[in-house]
Amino acid sequence: MLREGDYAGADFARSILSGAVYDLKTKFPAGFNPGGTRDAFRMLGVFVLAFFFRKTGANGAFYGVLAGEAAIFAVDIFTRISFLWFNVIGCVVVVAAALVISPILDHRPAGAGKAV
């Protein structure tokens, strides 16, 4: 009869192995993991929005990231640009799309967000 905790060792081993696989995937340099480089533009674009464009909202940032993803997909499929440029292109598309979309979707009432 199996008791609770009989498989604790297997769960522990699984968690260690999944952590090791995660470390291998995320800590390889970009030259060995081009997929990791294709994913970094999202965070870069959102950080640029947060630091330099305070008027953009959550909806603009979200749809900007989706537009950046679509742009990187298109660049990867239809051009021969090196994957090292994907971060630059993706970040520019995220910021541009968020700046266009944010005034349309993120309506703020007059005086909202001001300190009293």
Count of the separate structural domains present in the chain: 1
* Rounded Cα distance, 5 and 102, in Å: 51
Look at 28 and 71; give whichever has higher pLDDT: 71
Give the tokens for residue 17. Answer: 């192995």
The answer as to whether 39 is a domain residue is yes
50-70 burial: b if 16+ Cβ within 10 Å, else e:
eeeeeebbeebbebbbebbbe
Q: Is residue 17 part of a domain?
A: no
Q: Is residue 2 part of a domain?
A: no
Summarize the confidence of residues 39-45 as an average pLDDT.
82
Q: Does residue 67 sit within a domain?
A: yes
| Distance (Å, whole) CA 72 – CA 76 | 6
- Give the chain's mean pLDDT: 75
Q: Is residue 19 part of a domain?
A: no
Residue 31 has pLDDT above 60, yes or no: no
Give a yes or no: residue 41 inside a domain.
yes
What domain range includes position 55? 30-105
Of residues 57, 48, 34, the one with CA closest to residue 91: 48
The answer for residues whose C-beta is within 8 angstroms of residue 113's C-beta and 6 or more apart is none
In a domain, 45, yes or no: yes
* pLDDT tens column, 69-96: 999 999 989 999 988 898 899 999 999 9
H-assigned helices in the chain = 8-27, 34-52, 58-78, 86-105
